[in-house]
Amino acid sequence: MKVVIVGGVAGGATAAARIRRLDEQAEIVVFERSGYISYANCGLPYYIGGAIQNPAALTLQTPESFDARFRVDMRVHHEVTAIHPDRKCVSVTNLETGEQWEESYDKLLLAPGAKPAQPKVPGVGLARVFSLRTVEDTFRIKEYVERKHPASVVLAGGGFISLEMAENLRKLGLDVTIVQRPRQLMNPFDADMAALIHAEVRRHGVKLMLGHTVEGFVERDDGIDVLLKDAPRLHTDMVVLAIGVTPESDLAKSAGLALGVKGSIAVNDRMETSVPDIYAVGDAVQVKHFVSGTDVVIPLAGPANKQGRIAADNICGGNSRYQGSQGSSILQVFSMTAAATGLNEAAARQAGLQVDKVILSPMSHAGYYPGGKTMTMKVVFEKETFRLLGAQIVGYDGVDKRIDVLATAIRCGMSAVALKDLDLAYAPPYSSAKDPVNMAGFMVENIQRGVVKQWYLEEADTLPQDGSVTLLDTRTEAEYAMGHVEGFVNIPVDALRERLQELERGKPVYVICQSGLRSYIAARILMGNGFDCYNFAGGFRFYDAVKNEQKLIEQATACGMDA
């Protein structure tokens, strides 16, 4: 059996190694357009910033080491330019010599990945306008930074690569501005959770111009102008395009393979395309979202590697199935960590689901043990069934392990209520006896049993201020004096029982505190005394952070300036 693989990075390299482990006799040929194989895309910004100093560390294998271990004919600087399914061969060009020929196959695996999205605006090809996809791109950016010593950079886009570049270029001393059309960074997060990311980015000196559209680039004064719609142009020393990626599906399209959403390659759960003996994996393919069941493109390394293994199994006569992607991801944002899995609230509603959520601010470990830090967790679930749909966490220590627990719970089909029953490891330096994941489960159970009712951030601006409801802040007087929601009166929770007569019976009571815990206790006191009570999801700390961010974005958008 002869297997030809197009693309030698995540999915392609994984498939090649797996095929060899399953079939010692197979002939395996991999064509990779760049000069490197099996490299860590996610590590590229950290080489530019100096956290990774040895360029060799970016590549997990070389063509020589891969061949020595797996006997795979790994050809870099070779581009497959056409697929001929009727003759079961591909057209290949050696990019170093210009030689062209046709290579036959018994099985063909497409793992071309995704390419940086290029806005169709003037100036995209200018020398100071960079994109980051390959190791070669990385070297070009790093060489430019070291040779030209730019003082400023504009990052067009606000996803993973943009934030990683922002952090690393700030550490090199550059003035960094992120510009993008959406009014929030990091699409996997809801706008309220993204506000916490915005605050951290701003705290480290990164300027945000959200809600602005880039219309082109013009060279001027030994730099480059970034042209913006309805806003003054930005002058900078360099630009990095990071507005997302699009599937590399041109080969598949030209060969008549069926395409899916966003021009991706359509595959079934065996990673088979619409043409017999042709498989496809990685950032170029359409998959099912594990939670919603909808067709999606999720360009992440974890799914690409799993798909490569599954395709290899099936090429070798197996029957492996890909169960779908749920978009589990994590990102370092300066000193913070942001992570998400499954559907966020906006995506769940867009999928037609009736959803609810809990928002909590637990400590990373036991409060009495030194060094604990607050994280903010948002857990999204289906209203009637309490099916766990997704989660987002922004914080410091312990974010990674909590998101992995929640990702596993989603994969296992657990309900949000069942999170309370998970038997999770506890020691004071690492967690609390009631782990944050357990706490989320307790909160959802309270909702299920009617122990508590919630009100939400999106209701804040529409709460009646005419006296028809009671608005109650249960923090201390000192906390209240430092800032509070307009219209809320202050009765500290520990004085509430003695001051119940101050509250008019028959009126709904909307309660808030700093994190949601004291207001929950207050809600139970009030409900136990016959009041109809609603606890705020997230607490004043969450409310204040999100509202401040919304105000900054609105002001910046209105005046066409950065925030």
The catalytic residues are: 42
Residue 28, helix vs strand vs coil: strand
Contacts 24+ apart (CB under 8 A), 87-90: 88/277, 90/4, 90/6, 90/31
Rounded to the nearest 10°, the torsion over CA 141, 147, 151, 152 is -20
Asked whether the CA dihedral 529, 531, 537, 538 is positive or negative, the reply is negative
Structure token digits, residue 43: 């590590």
Relative to beta strand 285-288, strand 265-266 is parallel
Partners of 175 in the β-ladder: 152
Report the distance separating Cα 447 and Cα 282, nearest Å: 40
Locate tokens 């492996």: which residue?
A: 320
Q: Indicate the length of the chain as a whole number.
A: 563
Report the distance separating Cα 484 and Cα 489, nearest Å: 9
Question: Are 297 and 247 in contact, with CB atoms under 8 Å apart?
Answer: yes
Torsions phi, psi for 141 (to 5 deg): -65, -45
Structure token digits, residue 491: 């009765």
Torsions phi, psi for 400 (to 5 deg): -60, -45
Question: Are 109 and 6 in contact, with CB atoms under 8 Å apart?
Answer: yes
Q: How far is the CA of 483 from the CAs of 373, 374, 488, 545, in angstroms?
A: 22, 20, 11, 12
**Which helix (DSSP H) or strand (DSSP E) does residue 304 occupy?**
helix 301-315
What b-and-e string marks burial along 76-89, b requiring 16 or more CB atoms within 10 Å of the CB? bebbbeebebeebb
Report the distance separating Cα 31 and Cα 360, nearest Å: 49
Beta strands in 345-498 (DSSP E): 355-360, 376-382, 388-395, 454-455, 470-473, 489-490
Start-to-end Cα distance in the chain: 59
Q: For the sheet containing 454-455, what is the strand order?
A: 454-455, 533-536, 509-512, 470-473, 489-490
DSSP conformation letters of 423-435: -----TTT--SS-
Report the distance separating Cα 203 and Cα 515, nearest Å: 22
Locate tokens 């599937």: which residue?
A: 247
Residue 94, helix vs strand vs coil: strand
- Measure CA 532 to chain center: 38
Report the distance separating Cα 42 and Cα 509, nearest Å: 48
DSSP conformation letters of 190-248: -HHHHHHHHHHHHHTT-EEEET--EEEEEEETTEEEEEETTS--EEESEEEE-S-EEE-
Report the distance separating Cα 363 and Cα 124, nearest Å: 45
